[in-house]
Structure 1
């Protein structure tokens, strides 16, 4: 059986083989060239001998320059087999003229003034040259290995600078806030002191209202004693005594927290005013059964809900017919109509509480409260509360401050009628009984609470005991109960 004929090689297949062969030859040739360029020091002996002869001729015609000479014209040097240290330190350098990138640094001048030397003939110079070039060669090799470094990037152009800017901005804002807080602290403190001093200069100095009505002003007994007592950056107090019907007077100024920056900002949103309150401590025998209050309508409702004496004894009074009454903005809370009519006199209506007078002089009025059942340490008191004007307008509250000595005298001399007295005393007796019942109930609740706590503690202790201890305790309790239930027998001596 005949074999089939072998197919002939196509021309394209031959071209493909030739191209692969050519690529292989090119690759081998390039690797050989690279190897030769990196290992030029190991050339043929003939070439080395020719170079040595040329060097010897050149050195024989030159004079040795002094060792201290450091500048010479640049020249291209070529490594020889006699310099193995420099060749091995930087294998990328080349000494042949065919590869200029691998040549040594051309810009570095020679320190001897010649290109080649013989180690046997010039012994001192190579060591000096090598010693001078040794510190720069490692850095040069590191630079060649690492490559040229890029210049430092501009921090403004990099995105990493944004966190630094943000942190600096936060620090600037915090520092500015602290500076503003410190400046506001001292300025606000000074403003509050000026307001308090302006009030004291108007109403507590010589020929003033309190100086004419009280014999002792200030917190001390001497003439040089301070008029005001500073309890805080926005709280100032004034004390006066030495007047009939009362033990003394205490005025408390509660001003805005101007020294606090946050409070100042809050007051811009929620405005508030500077206030002054007067507490007059009446003598026990100088005040009758009087519970009376005058306030603005909104404040009057809050007072009746919060103050216990007004809630228990007094109520809102409608305007009476046939006589002048307070302005429509005010409300009167009293225990009886008689007391209210006696407290609101014609002089007071003309000076402050009337319609026309209140529009002009009553802008700073807040409330006025008299009570002989005031909760606290002192039961008989007169309370006044006003708003303070600014430093330049302290004279606007002159009529309001004049109400304090006026009502001290009026309440001190006032006596209610027998009919009103009987009603007020019955109401106070009833209130005393209710208070006593409340006290008893509170005591009973405290006792019950104490018993429950004790029982709970005993149950917890029994729960912690074991079964045997619990059985013994039950037996002991059973024996105690049986002994208690047995009849007692009394032994008598027979006659």
Structure 2
């Protein structure tokens, strides 16, 4: 006899209602179900339902977590949790009593899928403040550097200008004032005629000139001081890397009748070679460096003599200058500022007969060191003014100058021919350009006129005589 099915159905309904209440309590609004819920186990008395020896087990309901909405999300979509259907597993049942049920029922677990809403990433706009601050700092740095450079430039301008003026004035005070070398040898000093006239003429911040006249054998003397550009900051920095010296050049304009045929130069060896290549009078008349003569004192080894003849070199290098400046011992002590000396009667320009001296200036406090160098100027004015060549040397120098004059004349003639040829070429080119601009009718008339002129020129000339 089969057992009634109604008690079993009531038991199933009771279990389903209990599982529904458990799920409803865990998903109460404002609370989340804890992940580790205790398994609720209830034992049912089989005597109540008259089902002895039928233990029942209740399956666990899987925990469901509801994501909390992001407060930044303006419109979050509500998600409804879906509870998976719970299944009741009967571990023991009677196969003879229940028909149509499967022999094995698998445990189905369903997980509620919730849509995860990710908030949109907010676009971060770059803050322009740091860039602006860095640009301002850079502009301030550039302005500070420029202003500092201008201040240094202005300060250096006035200090450098003062240094050059002090150096020039110290030279004039040593050699151009009362009881000095130039005051004893020249009657007129300075650029004016009065007693209050200035001694120096300032042509620039680093160029000063001194003039003296009133002496025999010469028309006058012009000394030009070319100092360092101390007033220019860039030039001062350049001079620190490439050092240069303060120099003074003294030009003596000799009288035409007071100087014989003399071409002579004395300088340091490197400078002498450069002068021989660059200066035209030394190229034409001074062949090579004069070797020291036998049995006689000569200039120091650092110096070289370039002369038209050995006679001129021997006559101009006297014992006095060797002892004072150009000797081996004296040059080491007094010749530190010597650069070059050039004596010539074939210089280009208005004044052909000149004496040229070039010295290096010492510091303003050490002007006494170049006293012997400055004393060479009046000494050589008198020496060259009184000097006369021998007849043999004069004949050679006159022949050389005549040859040089012929070469100069040929060069002048060739230059004139080139100028005339160039002028003719330009004129012909202008006529051709003018003809190209004429019209066809004008060209035809011009050709007819030229043809008539040629025919008239080719006709025989008829001489007419009048009868008396």
2:390 is matched with 417
Residue 374 (structure 1) aligned with residue 347 (structure 2): yes
Aligned to 1:321: 294
**Where in structure 2 are the equivalents of 1:54-453 lying within 5 Å?**
158-316=130-288, 317-453=290-426
Please state whether the residue corresponding to 1:220 is helix, strand or coil.
coil
**Structure 1, 310-319 or 230-239: larger mean CA deviation:** 310-319
Structure 1 residue 252 displacement after superposition: 0.5
Report how far residue 263 of structure 1 moved: 0.8
CA distance in 2, matches of 1:191, 1:254: 13
Query: 1:483 Cα shift?
Result: 2.0
Looking at structure 1, the residues matched to 438 and 407 of structure 2 have their Cα atoms a distance apart, in angstroms, of 47
**Runs of 4+ more than 6 Å apart:** none
1:478 deviates by 2.0
- For residue 320 of structure 1, report the CA deviation from its aligned partner: 2.2
Deviations 1:94-140 (A, max 9, x none): xxxxxxxxxxxxxxxxxxxxxxxxxxxxxxxxxxxxxxxxxxxxxxx
Shift of 1:482: 2.3
Query: Gapped runs of 5+ residues in structure 1?
Result: 1-152
> Cα deviation per residue 1:161-219 (whole Å; 9 max; x = unaligned)?
11111111111111111111100000000000010011111111111111111111111
Larger radius of gyration: 2
CA offset at residue 371 of structure 1?
0.8
Shift, 1:471, TM fit: 2.1
- The answer to whether 1:462 aligns with 2:430 is no
Deviation at 1:232, TM superposition (A): 0.6
* TM-score, L = length of structure 1: 0.67
Alignment pair present for 1:490 and 2:463:
yes
Partner secondary structure for residue 131 of structure 2: coil
Q: Which structure has more helix as a fraction of its residues?
A: 1
Give the Cα–Cα distance (whole angstroms) in 2 for the partners of residues 223 and 181 of structure 1. 38
Which whole-Å CA distance do the structure 2 matches of 1:364 and 1:173 have between them? 40
Cα distance, 1:266 vs. partner? 1.1
Q: Which residue of 2 aligns with 1:129?
A: none
2-structure distance, mates of 1:166, 1:401? 56
Shift of 1:328: 1.5
- Give the distance between the partners of 2:458 and 2:268, measured in 1 at CA: 72
Distance 1:305 1:486, change over 3 A: farther
SS of alignment partner, residue 258 of structure 2: coil
Deviation at 1:494, TM superposition (A): 4.5
* Partner SS state of residue 193, structure 2: coil
TM-score (norm 2): 0.71
Unaligned runs of 5+ in 2: 1-126
